[in-house]
Amino acid sequence: MSKTAPINMRVEPSQHALLTKAAALLHKDRSAFILDVACREAQNVLLDQRLFQLNQEEFAAFEQALTAPITENATLKALLNELSPWEK
């Protein structure tokens, strides 16, 4: 993998020492450790936007909303019939 986009940051000496120590425990260099942790956290943030947990009552209401017949919505129908900006 070609690495072409630099990421630079300034940290407190105590943060630098903490990151260095943690990276060493995993036998990684500091940059690889920071990148791995940052990417894992970024994935978690994105997954939190798609994965949610419901109790049984909430799930039943959610499932009912998904399976309920769709009411006629002229505005939505017009919007869906428009070309996307990249199709114009």
**CA distances for 7 relative to 3, 4, 35, 63, angstroms:** 11, 10, 10, 43
Residues of the chain with pLDDT under 50: none
pLDDT score for 24: 98
The amino acid at 30: R
Q: Quote the pTM value.
A: 0.55
pLDDT score for 5: 87
| Pair 25, 17: CB distance under 8 Å | no
Question: Which residue is associated with the tokens 């959610």?
Answer: 62
pLDDT score for 55: 96
pLDDT score for 65: 94
Question: Which residue is associated with the tokens 């994935």?
Answer: 43
* Percent of the chain surpassing pLDDT 70: 99
pLDDT score for 86: 87
Domain ranges of the chain: 13-83
pLDDT score for 88: 80
